[in-house]
Every structure is written in C-alpha cells, then in structure tokens.
Amino acid sequence: MNIYALVKRTFDTEEKIAVANGKIVDDGAEFIINPYDEYAIEEAIQLRDEHGGEVTVITIGDEEAEKQLRTALAMGADKAVLINTEDDLDEMDEFTVAKIVAEYLKDKDADLILAGNVAIDGGSGQVGPRVAELLGINYVTTITNLEIDGTSAKIVRDVEGDSETIETSLPLLVTAQQGLNEPRYPSLPGIMKAKKKPLEELELDDLDIDEDDVEAKTETVEIFLPPAKAAGRVLEGDMADQVKELVDLLNKEAKVL
C-alpha cells in the first residue's frame, strides 16, 4: 500500500501561550506533532505492517518542522517530505495548506491518506476533507476503527457520542479521532534509524505552484487571550440566606434570570 500521513507542527499541549502586539509569541516555545496526527501516523504504520507498502509523512512549514518529521520517522514511517514555504508565504490558512498538499499528492497514486481529525491550535478540521475534494477521492472523518481488505475499507466513525459503520473503497482519505489506536513512543533504535531515512525538502517552485494561486482566503483580524476569570465567591449564612443571595446575584450581577 502507498500510504501518506499529513502532519502539522503545533505548540506543545503544556506550553503557555503568550500574545504580544496581536501576534502569538513562539520564541523559545516547545513544539510537537499535533496529537491527532500521531493517531494518523500510528494507524499508517500498523496498516503498512499488515498489508505491506510504505508510509510517507508530509508537512508544510519551515525548517523547524524537520524535527517533527524526524519524530514520525523514528515512530516507524519510511519517508518524509517537508514543503518549505518560509520564503514564499507570509500567511497560510486551510485553503492554502490543502491546495499545496493536493498538488504534491496529485500524481503519487496514494491508496490511503491519513490526517488528524483536528489540529489543536486551529481546530477547524478542514484540511483533510479539502485535500480529498481536490483529489476527487472518498473521505471519512473522525474514525475510530479502520479495516482494509484489498481495495475495500470498513470504517467506524465517531458521531456525536455514538458511532456509525461505513464501507467504502480506496483510494481514500480518513481523519483520525482519539481512540483509533495508542501512538507509540519512538524507540532508541527507531531514533537512530530515522537519521538515515530519506527526508525530502521541496519549495513551491518545485511543485509549479504560483504564490497567488494559494494565497490565504481568510485574514486574522486580531489575536487575544481570553479575560482572566474572576475569583469565585463563597456564600455564607444559613441555607435560606445563601439561596436568597444566590438568586439576587444571578439576577443583578450575572443577569441570567
């Protein structure tokens, strides 16, 4: 099987986000593979081990993203591709990323493409479905189980606290939901092997992409942190007095009654 996994570099989930002058400050911040993308990578590796073939991981960004690709290679992926847009694009959105990824994949004869359900920084969940639409292939989102039999796929997907089973055919794009698998940690031998695995770096010119054709369709007007939460108030007195005070507060301060 010819399998591809889409990877995004995101802030570490433990990182404290700072904003200055309307922009996110990332100097000195720790970055990781988007956690939902780890499920996609793990599933890709397991399917390759079961059915044969190879796994290629793809990301878009600058040279700093090479670290996350090397992590994916250490997990067990076979090859990696970095599409470096640092010198070409100042802003990217879901449209931009999907167009670039689809352009790269259009002649790769992918049997299966896996992506995370959402990225923890943006949370739009748009890139995977957009790529599938551009490539003209089937796609299923928020999957929690995937079985491949020849060119057929049986999928269980999460739907608002329940699940549904879908049967479809390859080529196929799926987005991984929590519960699909348990992503492995890179082993020391895996880390050593990753250093020798191929990592290809491309730019937009290599894909014959004009910057104007992938210009972002959305504009970020402002970035700001939510206001600090006020400290809670402890009501005192007997129960009747507390109830009376609570109703009064909900009515006059919170204005929810």
Lowest mean pLDDT among 31-45, 60-74, 215-229: 215-229
pLDDT higher than 90, residue 254: no
Q: Are residues 237 and 168 in the same domain?
A: no
Q: Are residues 150 and 124 in the same domain?
A: yes
Q: Are residues 210 and 244 in the same domain?
A: no
Lowest mean pLDDT among 6-10, 119-123, 224-228, 247-251: 224-228
Q: Are residues 67 and 188 in the same domain?
A: yes
> What percent of the chain stands above pLDDT 70?
99
Q: Are residues 51 and 124 in the same domain?
A: yes
Which range in 137-141, 220-224, 241-245 is most confidently predicted, on average pLDDT?
137-141
Q: What is the pLDDT of residue 181?
A: 96
Q: Which residues of 143-155 are buried (b: 16+ CB within 10 A; e: fewer)?
A: bbbbebeeeebeb
> What percent of the chain stands above pLDDT 90?
68
Domain containing residue 11: 2-214
159-204: pLDDT as tens digits: 888 999 999 999 999 999 999 999 999 999 999 999 999 999 999 9
Which runs of consecutive H residues, i.e. helices, occur in 76-143? 94-105, 127-135
What distance in Å separates the CA atoms of residue 3 and residue 173, rounded to the nearest whole number?
A: 10
What distance in Å separates the CA atoms of residue 211 and residue 25, rounded to the nearest whole number?
A: 26
Residue 248 region by backbone torsions, left for phi larger than 0, else alpha for psi between -120 and 50, else beta: alpha
**117 is a domain residue:** yes
Q: Are residues 196 and 237 in the same domain?
A: no
**223 is a domain residue:** no
103-147: pLDDT as tens digits: 999 999 999 999 999 998 888 889 999 999 999 999 999 999 999
Q: What is the pLDDT of residue 257?
A: 65
Q: Are residues 169 and 257 in the same domain?
A: no
The predicted model gives 6-32 an average pLDDT of 80
Whether the pTM exceeds 0.75: the reply is yes
The predicted model gives 222-233 an average pLDDT of 78
Residue with tokens 């190879």: 54
More confident residue, 121 or 23: 121
Secondary structure letter of residue 44 according to DSSP:
H
Looking at every residue in the chain, the average pLDDT score rounds to 91
Relative to beta strand 54-61, strand 2-6 is parallel
What distance in Å separates the CA atoms of residue 62 and residue 85, rounded to the nearest whole number?
A: 6
Q: Are residues 236 and 121 in the same domain?
A: no
Q: What is the pLDDT of residue 248?
A: 87
Q: Are residues 207 and 236 in the same domain?
A: no
pLDDT higher than 80, residue 255: no
Q: What is the pLDDT of residue 100?
A: 96
**224 is a domain residue:** no
* Residue 55, strand partner residues: 3
Q: What is the pLDDT of residue 158?
A: 92
CATH number of the domain residue 58 falls in:
3.40.50.620
Please count the structural domains in the chain.
2
Q: Are residues 188 and 246 in the same domain?
A: no
**151 is a domain residue:** yes
**221 is a domain residue:** no
Q: Are residues 256 and 166 in the same domain?
A: no
**87 is a domain residue:** yes
Q: Are residues 239 and 116 in the same domain?
A: no
